[in-house]
Structure 1
Amino acid sequence: MLNIWFAAGSHNWPDYALPLDEAFRAAGLDVRLSATPPADPATVDYIIYAPGGDVDDFAPLTRVKLVQSLWAGVERIVGNASLTQPLARMVDQGLSEGMVEWVTGHVLRHHLGMDRHIVNPTHIWDHSPPPLARDRHIGILGMGALGAASARALQGLNFRVTGWSRTEKRLEGLTCLHGAEGLDRILHQADMLVLLLPKTPETENILNARAFALMKRGMVILNPGRGALIDDAALLSALADGTVAHATLDVFRVEPLPADHPFWAHPRVTVTPHIAADTRAPSAARIVAENIARVERGEAPLHLVDRTRGY
């Protein structure tokens, strides 16, 4: 029997207890699953982890074969010096679908100019149509699973989509840029920019004053990736001078976003409460069970984190 510790927070346990039990049974795994910290850490075989859970020191967990995160982002654990066990991030179709829905919904909202029709207190009859999608250039920073899925969905709506990543990536039918030169090019070309990068030392403040200076006037920024990708002060300056027409933000450096933060009251900032790609327990539980079953069969777990890259 495998001892599995659900160290992902007591607030998450009611949502995950039954789906995990069902997923382990379906995978043919004989497990003892508990949300209670173990009396003897050396008896634990696997950890299910989320930030804000019940484990910070991994050193006593000497038998653990895998730490499976319930989050796609792992920046809050990857630098933990006591973590020497393999770490896997959550890559789940449910996460991809949720992100695609958020990204396409807000891209279409800004593309069609829906805000001015929904909130139109002066009853202005503005008959001017928006451009067609094929005339709108969408840049996506981050070509991982979520970025690639969002890019494909936007392509399906006939938008011109260009992706960017720090290192070279090739995706059939999609223009992908990389490196510093590629970043400057996409910043200059895009009408809307979607941020789906992980938070690493190399990506923090990737949208800074220099980056905003390269953008077209009237840009739209969508950030469902990580709050630290944007220099908040630089964004507020870009909004003030008209470089950025609107910013729709789902993630922030401090969450929940403090009540006195200027984003709340800004007329051209939309705040959504980190809902773009939340982990859904039933589908995530199946991923957890599949990865543990792989390890038990002697196979490599899926979606292992590269500690040197931070994701």
Structure 2
Amino acid sequence: MPLLRAALPAMPVLTLDTLQQPEQIRYVITWGPPPGLFAGLPALQAVFALGAGVDKLLLRPDLPATVPIYRLLDGGMAQQMAEYVRLGVLSYQRHMDIYRRQQAAGVWKMLPPRLPAEVRVGVLGMGEIGSAVAQALVADGYQVSGWSRTPRQLAGVASYHGEAGLGEMLANSDVLACVLPSTPQTQGLLDAERLACLPAGAMVINAGRGDLLDENALLALLDSGHLRAAQLDVFAMEPLPANSRLWQHPSVTLTPHIAAITLRQQAVSQIAANLQRLQAGLAAEGRVLRERGY
């Protein structure tokens, strides 16, 4: 709250605890608002999400479709996401996942080195964050391709789009890094058939949304040896249930949805700038297209 008040000195900034006249509220900045909140705000003009994902807001029955939603375009998350994906790709390139399994088995065995240029990385999702991830991987010397719903060109990145393009990219990805949002089009995208399109010995990194990936299909392909490793930050159910096999699988590395956490100062600066634009009668950045889901 101090950051918001400092960034918006001409606007009253309230919390739910201090809210006394809800009929006067025009803007809401939120991540996980309580049920029914929006129904009690008749003057609501816009909602600002404290993150890049807005799937939960789009499902809110109390939020009218006429009220625009704005997401963070970055908020400091792009660099963090690039770091998270690079960590997984580097682990794959240097065989660290295999060495961890060898350590557990008491095996001392050196593996032949592999150069970055010999590793093909496919990035699923080429928005602001996905593009930053792809550019970071290009800078590291990897062979990088990117897939998006519509054509997108980025220097040094082989571009794929559509259903045909997805299959082709998967077949040529030693590491698949998913940073897609959750939309009706992306839910269940990485099913058993598509995961099987990855080359033998490939790795999957999912830092987008948990409902993109069929976890049982992933486990089956890891068990069979077709896939070598997985690094997962998001899951169909969070927190991940204690009885999930993913916790103990020797080829899986888990993190608790921390790949890219909103940084307060960057988020406040972006939201404040957008509010000032709206106040001046200008278009704000990051407006969500409801039909797309992002």
TM-score range, shorter chain: over 0.9
Unpaired runs of 5+ residues, structure 1, are 1-16
Letter in 1 for 2:171: H
- Residue 56 of structure 2 corresponds to 76
- Residue 219 of structure 1 corresponds to 202
Deviation at 1:55, TM superposition (A): 4.9
Letter in 2 for 1:286: S
Instruction: Classify 1:30/1:212 alpha carbon distance in 2 versus 1 (closer, same or farther; 3 Å).
Output: closer
Q: Residues 212 and 243 of structure 1 are in contact (CA less than 8 Å); yes or no, is this contact kept in structure 2?
A: no
Instruction: Classify 1:125/1:265 alpha carbon distance in 2 versus 1 (closer, same or farther; 3 Å).
Output: closer
Task: State the distance in 2 between where 1:38 and 1:211 align.
Answer: 49
- Residue 95 of structure 1 corresponds to 77
Q: Residues 87 and 304 of structure 1 are in contact (CA less than 8 Å); yes or no, is this contact kept in structure 2?
A: yes
Q: Residues 230 and 252 of structure 2 are in contact (CA less than 8 Å); yes or no, is this contact kept in structure 1?
A: yes
Q: Residues 44 and 64 of structure 1 are in contact (CA less than 8 Å); yes or no, is this contact kept in structure 2?
A: yes
2:16 to 23, 31, 35: 35
Instruction: Classify 1:125/1:219 alpha carbon distance in 2 versus 1 (closer, same or farther; 3 Å).
Output: closer
Correspondence 1:63 to 2:7? no
Correspondence 1:20 to 2:1? no
Q: Residues 26 and 43 of structure 2 are in contact (CA less than 8 Å); yes or no, is this contact kept in structure 1?
A: yes
Instruction: Classify 1:172/1:151 alpha carbon distance in 2 versus 1 (closer, same or farther; 3 Å).
Output: same
Deviation at 1:37, TM superposition (A): 6.7
Which is worse superposed, 244-253 or 164-173? 164-173
Cα deviation per residue 1:238-278 (whole Å; 9 max; x = unaligned)?
Answer: 11111211111000111111111110011111110100001
In the TM superposition, 1:260-275 aligns within 5 A as: 260-275=243-258
1:172 to 136, 155, 158: 155
Which is worse superposed, 42-51 or 80-89? 80-89
- Residue 108 of structure 2 corresponds to 124
Cα deviation per residue 1:148-205 (whole Å; 9 max; x = unaligned)?
Answer: 0000000001100000012222223322100000000011110000011111111111
Task: State the distance in 1 between where 2:3 and 2:227 align.
Answer: 43
- Residue 259 of structure 1 corresponds to 242
Letter in 2 for 1:23: A
Instruction: Classify 1:216/1:115 alpha carbon distance in 2 versus 1 (closer, same or farther; 3 Å).
Output: closer
Deviation at 1:79, TM superposition (A): 3.0
Letter in 1 for 2:85: V
Task: State the distance in 2 between where 1:115 and 1:269 align.
Answer: 9
Q: Helix, strand or coil: the match of 1:77?
A: helix
Q: Helix, strand or coil: the match of 2:58?
A: coil
Task: State the distance in 1 between where 2:27 and 2:137 align.
Answer: 38
Q: Residues 98 and 276 of structure 1 are in contact (CA less than 8 Å); yes or no, is this contact kept in structure 2?
A: yes
Q: Helix, strand or coil: the match of 2:8?
A: helix
Letter in 1 for 2:108: I
Task: State the distance in 2 between where 1:173 and 1:113 align.
Answer: 25
Letter in 1 for 2:45: K
Task: State the distance in 2 between where 1:268 and 1:175 align.
Answer: 29
How many aligned positions are there?
290
- Residue 290 of structure 2 corresponds to 307
Task: State the distance in 2 between where 1:273 and 1:163 align.
Answer: 25
Task: State the distance in 2 between where 1:68 and 1:210 align.
Answer: 37
Q: Helix, strand or coil: the match of 2:38?
A: coil
2:29 to 45, 48, 66: 48
Correspondence 1:243 to 2:220? no
Aligned identity (percent) is 37
Cα deviation per residue 1:215-248 (whole Å; 9 max; x = unaligned)?
Answer: 2111100001000111111111111111211111
Q: Residues 75 and 199 of structure 1 are in contact (CA less than 8 Å); yes or no, is this contact kept in structure 2?
A: yes
Correspondence 1:233 to 2:216? yes
Letter in 2 for 1:174: V
2:279 to 293, 296, 303: 296
Deviation at 1:78, TM superposition (A): 1.2
